[in-house]
Amino acid sequence: MTAMTEDTTTPTERDDAPASGDDVVDRILANASSRAGVSVFTPGAAQAIQTTGLGSGTYRGDDHGLGVDGDQFDRDDRQALRRVAGLSTELEDVTEVEYRQLRLENVVLIGVYSQGTLADAENSLRELSALAETAGAVVLDGLLQRRPHPDPSTYLGSGKAIELKNIVASLGADTVIADTELAPSQRRALEDVVKVKVIDRTAVILDIFSQHAKSREGKAQVELAQLEYLLPRLRGWGESMSRQAGGQVGAGNGMGSRGPGETKIELDRRRIHTRMAILRKKIKEMKPAREAKRANRNRNAVPSVAIAGYTNAGKSSLLNRLTRAGVLVENALFATLDATVRKSVTADGRPFTYADTVGFVRNLPHQLVEAFRSTLEEVAESDIIIHVVDGSHPDPEAQLATVRDVIHEVDGREIPEVVVFNKSDLVDDSRRLVLRGLVPDAIFVSARTGEGIDELLARLAEILPRPEVDLDLLVPYDRGEVVARIHDIGRVVDVEYLETGTRVLAKVYPQDAATLQEFAS
């Protein structure tokens, strides 16, 4: 960024300057796979604290470099900033503060809630905390502001934003994560106030996805989602570049906005569009392979059971319990990002498959809906959905609703659903009553202890279709009782009396077919 060579900015302003759009675009286009932490779209800005000398562990109360804009509008909000219990991390001493600053991605979470939805907002912030930790960050604190609506310019009210700045400084945080999808301008404005990197929930989820996607298709879809997210946010980078140029020449928008920043944006935009087109084409080409695989399963008429549910509900653990499949289980959100399919068989011998799926999450970034497609299709085309709910979660009802919404969206409404409350080892009797009230025919299971697994298997066996098997048998004349039995248990299609015995063409269930094997001709 050439505009930065001249020292017309205060140190704070300069440190706050975003990394050039160049870095970001290059990095994502380069499809960096070894990314850690939540530094998705704003590399560089995280150094702000160290270089401005806020790292002494003292609370910095002044507003250097800030206007006191709008402070007076936010009197009411002053009382409304509240900490979410359990998210605060007490810093023991200055050493720890300094230690934390050596590492990137110490985050403070923020959220805005309107009256009456505090519990919901807290749960949402806890989930964001789990997401941030999954992405590799350390959560130092979580703050909620009560407000009828998020502030259109800085998300939090401007007074709160300044408070946040002080909290961030005193904790030695280097990143703020907002529990929403911030408008590009909101992100910039809030960053200008708090002086550290600000990202949003969507960026965190995208980052987790980019760290975890394994298959070629998964990776391509995540990259596409990242570019889609980035595209409207390029203007943010450009604006700040224009602002710098504007400062230099002392002019308004005119010169700055026509400067190199804007040209750069156009260039980036074109490169991004090109890359997105390539990715879309690639993904399209991968589709037939997936459909062929699925068609193959359909042709073999093997029924499928999709294990769906909220992220971290224990889907993979349950699949392991059900099949001993050895699927990756992790106490992190989105441990599973690509569909895993496992073969199994009912107690009476009917084969079927289990498909593990990507966890659902509330407010799924719309860019990622496509990236989910491959596993959602698995759900939409299954014969049964095991809907796993974490019975120990504070708000299972919301989880149930979120997952059902998405299942409906992908036309899975007609598919029989077996609701399973998992982690029952953590659920006491009174809570079971509550859960039972939510879903009367749910099964309580524990992937950990094995409770309820037999009941679940029995329920599946009950619902799974009973495909018939074609048999062509030759039954000796001295075994007439076998022919009688075939009439009992299946449908006899044709009978022919040969020299060596009775030839019977029949359709029976697989488990019975096994017992007639000796007569196969």
Ligand X SMILES: Nc1nc2c(ncn2[C@@H]2O[C@H](COP(=O)(O)OP(=O)(O)OP(=O)(O)O)[C@@H](O)[C@H]2O)c(=O)[nH]1
Nearer to ligand X, 271 or 373 (CB): 373
**Tokens 């007609």 correspond to what residue?**
414
Q: Would you count residue 336 as binding Mg ion (CB under 5 A)?
A: yes
Query: How far is residue 435's CA from residue 27's CA, in Å, rounded to a whole number?
Result: 46
Q: Is 221 helix (H, G, I), strand (E, B) or coil?
A: helix
Interface with ligand X, residue 317, by CB under 6 A: yes
Q: Is 375 in the site for Mg ion (CB under 5 A)?
A: no
Write the single-letter amino acid at 377: E
Residue spans of alpha helices (H) in 103-215: 118-134, 158-171, 184-194, 201-212
**Do residues 52 and 11 touch, judged by C-beta distance below 8 A?**
yes
Q: What is the per-residue binding string for Mg ion in 214-233, x denoting contact by CB under 5 A?
A: --------------------
Provide the minimum distance between the beta carbon of 127 and Mg ion in the complex, in angstroms, as a whole number. 16
Q: What DSSP state is assigned to residue 520?
A: B
Dist CA 445 CA 388 (whole Å): 9
Stretch that binds ligand X, among 48-56, 73-81, 420-428, 474-482 (CB under 6 A): 420-428
State the Cα–Cα distance between residues 501 and 480, nearest whole angstrom: 9
Q: Which of 331, 500, 515, 521 binds ligand X (CB under 6 A)?
A: 331
Q: Which is nearer to Mg ion, 47 or 215 (CB)?
A: 215
Site map 273..312 versus Mg ion, x via CB under 5 A: ----------------------------------------
Residue 384 falls in which region: left (phi positive, over 0), alpha (psi -120 to 50) or beta: beta
Is residue 390 within 8 Å of residue 314, measured between CB atoms?
Answer: yes
Tell me the closest approach of the beta carbon of residue 327 to ligand X, in angstroms. 8
Nearer to ligand X, 264 or 423 (CB): 423
Q: Rank residues 108 and 327 by Cβ distance to ligand X and give the closer one.
A: 327
Rounded CA separation 53/375 (Å): 48
Q: Is 375 in the site for ligand X (CB under 6 A)?
A: no
Residue showing the smallest CB distance to ligand X in the complex: 359
Q: Which residues contact residue 482 at a Cβ distance below 8 angstroms, ignoring those fewer than 6 apart? A: 475, 516, 519
Choices 147-155, 328-336, 363-371, 417-425; region in contact with Mg ion by CB under 5 A: 328-336
CB of 311 to Mg ion, least distance (A): 8
> Which range in 8-16, 26-34, 72-80, 423-431 contacts ligand X by CB under 6 A?
423-431
Q: Which residue has the tokens 């060596």?
A: 500
Binding partner of 333, given ligand X, Mg ion, none, CB within 5-8 angstroms per partner class: ligand X
Task: Select the span of 43-51, 197-205, 309-317, 365-373 touching ligand X (CB under 6 A).
Answer: 309-317
Binding partner of 186, given Mg ion, ligand X, none, CB within 5-8 angstroms per partner class: none
Site for ligand X in 440-499 (CB under 6 A): 446-448
How far apart CA 247 and CA 253 sit, in angstroms, is: 10
Residue of 487, 333, 306 whose CA lies nearest to 407: 306
Alpha carbon distance 433, 34 (integer Å): 46
- Residue 234 binds Mg ion, judged by CB under 5 A: no
Closest by CA position to 217, among listed 338, 93, 58, 130: 338
Query: How far is residue 416's CA from residue 398's CA, in Å, rounded to a whole number?
Result: 20
**Contact with ligand X (CB under 6 A) among 109, 196, 222, 313:** 313
Binding site for ligand X (CB under 6 A): 309, 311-317, 329-331, 333-336, 359, 422-423, 425-426, 446-448
Binding site for Mg ion (CB under 5 A): 315-316, 335-336
